[in-house]
Amino acid sequence: MSENFELHAQLAKDSIWLADWPLCQLRLINDSNYPWFILVPRRANIRDVIDLSDEEQAQLWQESAKLSRLLRQKFSPEKLNLAALGNMVPQLHLHHVARFSSDAAWPSPIWGKVAAIPYTEQQLVVLLNEWSVA
Amino acid sequence: MSENFELHAQLAKDSIWLADWPLCQLRLINDSNYPWFILVPRRANIRDVIDLSDEEQAQLWQESAKLSRLLRQKFSPEKLNLAALGNMVPQLHLHHVARFSSDAAWPSPIWGKVAAIPYTEQQLVVLLNEWSVA
């Protein structure tokens, strides 16, 4: 199954690989407006969570909880936003965003709200170092 | 714990009780633009999924998968949207929305996109009958 996994071109363009966890790729969305990460199960032809097997779903939610705890530790957000939308990019990807009442989109959801501000190369080096060992 | 559960006033206003599942209240958002449901864990002081115990999280995702399968059966959506945002209403509630490329907000997320169109009383009677036995 996982042999056929191929990351959707749009996700490859919008985000940066951080780590491979047992089921998912952990990727950083290249938008410094928010600490914004996605988990992408390395399985082919998965659109919705329930397309995964029961075991894979349990693993997905464990990795989601791990990522959520890391976001709390690192950023102390006021709220975590968690979402699987995929109307534009149908490949299943689970958004995790650390939200603050001071952020650019608050209290709205972040999608389509303000233009992305890409990280600088220097910021990316730091983030990659930090997260590749998560 | 569950003794102290009280539904947030805004959720009570925006949605209609359909059923009590082992962990969550299943509620219908009163907006006929989309088949839009929420799961609200009957636990006090829960903001994020990871505030639930490991067992409760597993139960939440089982109920989420059950609801997702019911939405597929009943509506045959092109995409399921799944989200825990809670920037405005901090009490944890998990959105499940059946999406269609013909719907009012497609391909955007639904939040804040178009004004809600409440169901008629007649529509509600049918929906309540259908879902109270889910």
Q: How far apart are CA A107 and CA B127, in angstroms?
A: 31
pLDDT at A133 over 70: no
Closest to B64 measured CA to CA, from B40, B100, B32, B28: B40
**Reported ipTM:** 0.94
Strand ordering across the sheet containing B79-84 = A15-20, A24-29, A36-41, A94-99, A79-84, B79-84, B94-99, B36-41, B24-29, B15-20
Q: How far apart are CA A6 and CA A17, in angstroms?
A: 13
Read off the pLDDT of residues A48-79 as tens digits, 9 standing for 90 and up: 999 999 999 999 999 999 999 999 999 999 99
Position A79 scores a pLDDT of 97
User: What pLDDT score was predicted for residue B2?
Assistant: 52
Mutate to test the interface with B, among A80, A110, A113 (most CBs of B within 10 A): A80
What confidence category does residue A132 fall into, taking pLDDT thresholds of 50, 70 and 90? confident
Distance from CA of B102 to the nearest CA of A (A): 12
For A8-24, the pLDDT digits (tens) are: 999 999 999 999 999 99
**CA gap A115, A112 in Å, rounded:** 7
CA nearest neighbour of A128 among A39, A27, A31, A40: A27
Q: How far is A120 from chain B (nearest CA, A)?
A: 28
Q: Where in B1-134 does DSSP place strands (E)?
A: 15-20, 24-29, 36-41, 79-84, 94-99
Mean pLDDT taken over chain A: 95
> Which class in CATH covers the domain with range B2-131?
alpha beta
Report the percent of chain A where pLDDT is more than 70.
Answer: 96
Residues in chain B with pLDDT values less than 50:
1
pTM score: 0.95
Question: In chain B, whose CA is at the least distance from the CA of A72?
Answer: B50
Name the DSSP class of A75: H
